[in-house]
Chain A
Amino acid sequence: EAQVTQNPRYLITVTGKKLTVTCSQNMNHEYMSWYRQDPGLGLRQIYYSMNVEVTDKGDVPEGYKVSRKEKRNFPLILESPSPNQTSLYFCASSLSGPRGDEQFFGPGTRLTVL
């Protein structure tokens, strides 16, 4: 089954404790992206990757890091989480480029930073 998976689905952590949210896709997609979703703001892009070893900032990259060492994986790293990073996070992928009509979204990771 073609899918984007994220882990963990739920996470409660404390300020300053480094964490990683994993994202994996099994569709051989080149493009992957991370979004955060906050009430009243919709989805905002954090980082994206056009292909292996190619990453770039989205609209709200501060406080986040990403890496793209393999085509299928695109982890999101919070080196020192803060309460304002409490949010619902989505990973997405598409075959080539950020085509909205081809983009598959993962199920989401709900993060709470205390």
Chain B
Amino acid sequence: GQQLNQSPQSMFIQEGEDVSMNCTSSSIFNTWLWYKQEPGEGPVLLIALYKAGELTSNGRLTAQFGITRKDSFLNISASIPSDVGIYFCAGQLLTDSWGKLQFGAGTQVVVTP
């Protein structure tokens, strides 16, 4: 079953504001992933994290792999209208053949002009 707690569930923000969301788990993961899903589309990978403490950026997006390996954070700076969508975290336990992905419930982001 689902073991990832993602918060907040939704965010209504004004254009230009920063956005922060996080994911916590009772399990330790070797890989944390952040996806974005736009209406009518499938999830698209934004950032992949592979090491505890790792901080990775992709444009205005920054994600961190928590030191405990049980959490991860995603920040979006200076939001713009096209940031609208659902953001999902996913954790994966690395084994010889890669473990199953576990997804958070998602954070709905709405950006108003």
Residues of A at the B interface (CB closer than 8 Å) are 4, 40-45, 48, 50, 58-59, 90, 92, 97-101, 103, 105-108
Contact = CB atoms under 8 A, between A and B. Distances in A.
**How large, as a class, is the contact surface on chain B?**
20 to 34
Interface of B: 1-2, 4, 6, 9, 31, 33, 40-45, 48, 88, 90, 92, 97-101, 103-106
Q: Is the interface of A mostly helix, strand, loop or mixed?
A: loop
B101 A98 contact: yes
A103 B33 CA distance: 11
Contacts of A100: 31, 33, 45, 48, 90, 92, 98, 101
A90 B43 contact: yes
Contacts of A99: 92, 98
Contact of A44 (B2, B41, B42): B2
Contacts of B98: 97-100
A109 to B, nearest CB: 10
